[in-house]
């Protein structure tokens, strides 16, 4: 079955404050209507917010931070949630957790990234880690959006996303 545009992509991490937030913002910029990105986490609390360094790095890269918020992944498993075509875990913890059953059984892939918040050596090293993570995510996402704009199906999307995990 050919996917309709935009292709909905959900990025998952544990706290939905760094890597998944970066990926959501990057793909929404690069996707230009072909892709629509969302992000969520498995253990998000009501007080959880996107990490200030993530927001700072996105702004520094010229990417919008408007509307970015930390949220639990179960909001995307509800009947009224947007239908996801692809789910990408961006941290190893989230990849090893039992996920909700996603409506429509979307394609999935795992892109493991080190947690930039845990970079040793203080805030300067954390900033460098956020910048590096943003750059690596952008590189993979540029490849993802380079898929043909018509005729893509779930199997092609899944295969391409999994192939990008090897880069």
pLDDT band at 25 (very low <50, low <70, confident <90, very high): very high
Q: What is the mean pLDDT of the chain?
A: 87
Q: At what angle do helices 154-164 and 123-145 cross, to 10 degrees?
A: 140
Joined together, the tokens standing for residue 53 give: 């360094």
Beta strands in 26-140 (DSSP E): 35-41, 86-89, 107-110
* Section 119-144 average pLDDT: 93
Q: What pLDDT was estimated at residue 61? A: 96
User: Diameter of the chain by CA atoms?
Assistant: 49
Higher-pLDDT residue of 77, 58:
58
**Mean of the pLDDT values across residues 11-33?**
94
Lowest-confidence pick of 17-31, 118-132, 149-163: 149-163
Whether pLDDT at 34 is above 80: yes
Of 87, 25, 33, nearest to 60 (Cα)? 25
- Give me 126's structure tokens: 């954390």
Return d(Cα 115, Cα 55) in angstroms, integer: 15
Distance between CA atoms of residues 45 and 71, nearest Å? 8
- Residue 132 CA to its chain's centroid (Å): 15
CA distance 165 to 167: 6
Residue 50 has pLDDT above 80, yes or no: yes
Q: Taking Cα atoms as reference points, which of 59, 32, 1 lies closest to residue 141?
A: 32
User: Does the pLDDT value for residue 1 go beyond 60?
Assistant: no
Say what the pLDDT of residue 28 is: 97
Tell me yes or no: is domain 7-161 CATH 3.40.50.2300.
Answer: yes
Q: Give pLDDT tens digits for 61-95.
A: 999 999 999 999 888 888 888 889 999 999 866 44
Burial 4-15 (b: 16+ CB within 10 A, else e): eebbbbbbbbbb
Contact 117, 51 (CB under 8 A): yes
Instruction: Give, for 154, the enclosing helix (H) or strand (E).
Output: helix 154-164
């Amino acid at each position: 079955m050919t996917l309709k545009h935009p292709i909905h992509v959900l990025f998952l991490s544990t706290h939905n404050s760094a890597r998944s937030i970066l990926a959501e913002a990057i793909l929404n910029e690069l996707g230009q209507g072909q892709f629509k990105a969302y992000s969520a986490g498995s253990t998000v609390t009501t007080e959880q917010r996107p990490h200030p360094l993530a927001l700072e790095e996105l702004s520094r890269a010229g990417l919008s931070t408007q509307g970015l918020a930390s949220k639990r992944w179960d909001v995307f498993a509800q009947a009224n949630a947007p239908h996801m075509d692809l789910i990408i875990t961006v941290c190893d913890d989230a990849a090893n957790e039992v996920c909700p059953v996603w409506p429509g059984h979307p394609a999935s892939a795992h892109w493991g990234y080190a947690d930039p918040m845990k970079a040793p050596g203080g805030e300067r090293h954390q900033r460098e880690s956020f910048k590096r993570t943003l750059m690596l995510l952008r590189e993979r996402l540029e490849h993802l959006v380079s898929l043909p704009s018509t005729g893509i199906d779930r199997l092609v999307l899944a295969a391409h996303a999994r192939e990008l995990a090897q880069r």
